[in-house]
Amino acid sequence: MNTLKKAGLSFQTYEGQKRLWGILFVAPWLLGFVFFFMVPLVNSLRYSLSNIEASSEGIQVTYIGFSNFIEALTVNSSFNRQLLESIMNIVINVPLILIFSLFLAVLLNQQFFGRSVARSIFFLPVILASGVILSLEQTSLVQEINQQNATSGGLANVMGSFELQRIMLRAGVNEYIVVYLTGAVDRIYEIVSQSGVQILIFLAGIQTISPQLYEASKIEGATGYEAFWKITLPMVSPLILVNLVYTIIDSFSRSPVTDLVMSVGFDNFNFGLSSAMAWIYFLSIMIILLTSVFLISKKVFYQE
């Protein structure tokens, strides 16, 4: 028993109980990964380093080293282009989605008439982007409507963002900031449609903040602006990290790179090249996630 306590495995203390609950929450994912994803993951790595040919004797796997990776990065131009576009979309969209979600969560947490309806409206895109409704996008009628909306709405967005860009440049705003903000105007539909889950998470976190903190700050003479920066933002900072990870993964899952990987593997039957593309895509996600978590986690405030 003393050995277990020295090793930090005693669950009698508060830290030990937190460790136990952490293990219990992670256990379902860990078991699912070991029993359902470990073997496909190892096989995909093996296929990415091999040439796969189907013959009368079965599937022949021949080791060829990193040839598939070299082909994916140097020969296949579609993969390079779509991968870079996906990374750029993440760099642009993720901060906008987080800022928009937090801003909407603060507004939806206020007391006003029709608050429940407003919350439902902003979560509606999550419902519309799932299940049977998503498959309607494959029909010719919905595609034609979307194309018409994109044509007319796209022209309106361009004109609106151009006018905004002209006004901000005249006001002396930095050119890079102007380009970023006008790009946000052009991406407003994409940002709103991907913010539903993040708004709910932020809203749940804001509602857990003790009202006594805001009352004390009001007695001390703090304004709403100061209360947001001194109370709301630090208290929801752990959820910013959660939403950051979720938004990055969600953005990658929506990327056309996944369709390209599936097409190369199951349409062209080039499973070696498809596996190499999948691993490059996976490593890109991991690098972006690790870098983002490393930078954001330093600013996260955890209330004990």
* pLDDT tens by residue, 102-114: 988 888 888 777 7
The whole-number pLDDT of residue 273 equals: 87
The whole-number pLDDT of residue 145 equals: 44
Q: Which residues of the chain have pLDDT under 50?
A: 1, 3-4, 6-8, 132, 137-146, 148-156
CB atoms within 10 A of CB 40: 9
The whole-number pLDDT of residue 162 equals: 60
Fold category of 79-254 in CATH = MetI-like fold (1.10.3720)
CA distance linking residue 91 with residue 220, whole number of Å? 39
Rounded to the nearest 10 degrees, the angle between the axes of helix 77-108 and helix 271-297 is: 40
List the domain boundaries for the chain: 79-254
Q: pTM here?
A: 0.73
The whole-number pLDDT of residue 27 equals: 92
Give whole-number Cα distances, 187 to 14, 183, 247, 259, in Å: 46, 6, 15, 22
The whole-number pLDDT of residue 244 equals: 92
195 contact partners, CB below 8 Å, separation of at least 6: 97, 100, 101, 104, 122, 125
* pLDDT tens by residue, 90-142: 888 888 889 888 988 888 888 777 777 777 776 776 666 555 455 554 444 44
